[in-house]
Amino acid sequence: MSSVDPTKITPEQKKFLESLPEASSVFSEQEINEAVEGLQNELISANQSLIENLSPENYEQLNINQVQPQSSSGVQRSPSNNSGPIIQGPTRAQDQFTLRQALQH
């Protein structure tokens, strides 16, 4: 069984953990990265203690939703916020009804 990384809590996982009755404080990866260096270890340890006290069902739910650094094929995926723009080709309608074509008819 892979373990949940307390430093990589996503906003969705934070919402899930905060909805649990045993949750006191949950800190997302972004909040940990934005905190001052001395406070980061405290935030990580708070996440770790919460994760250790989860029921097996909640732990599995959290573990399933944890973004793994590598996919099962071994290909490294870049985070969505670091990827370039999505360039999409013209649609079929754009191929059929361009301005140039409309002027020719």
**16-23: long-range pairs with CB below 8 Å, 24+:** 16/61, 16/62, 16/65, 17/50, 17/62, 20/54, 20/58, 22/50, 22/53, 22/54, 23/50
Instruction: For residues 62-69, give the mean pLDDT.
Output: 64
For the chain, give the mean pLDDT: 75
CA distance 25 to 61: 18
Say whether pTM exceeds 0.95.
no
Query: What average pLDDT score do residues 14-21 get?
Result: 86
pLDDT at 60 over 80: yes
Mean pLDDT over 5-22 rounds to 86
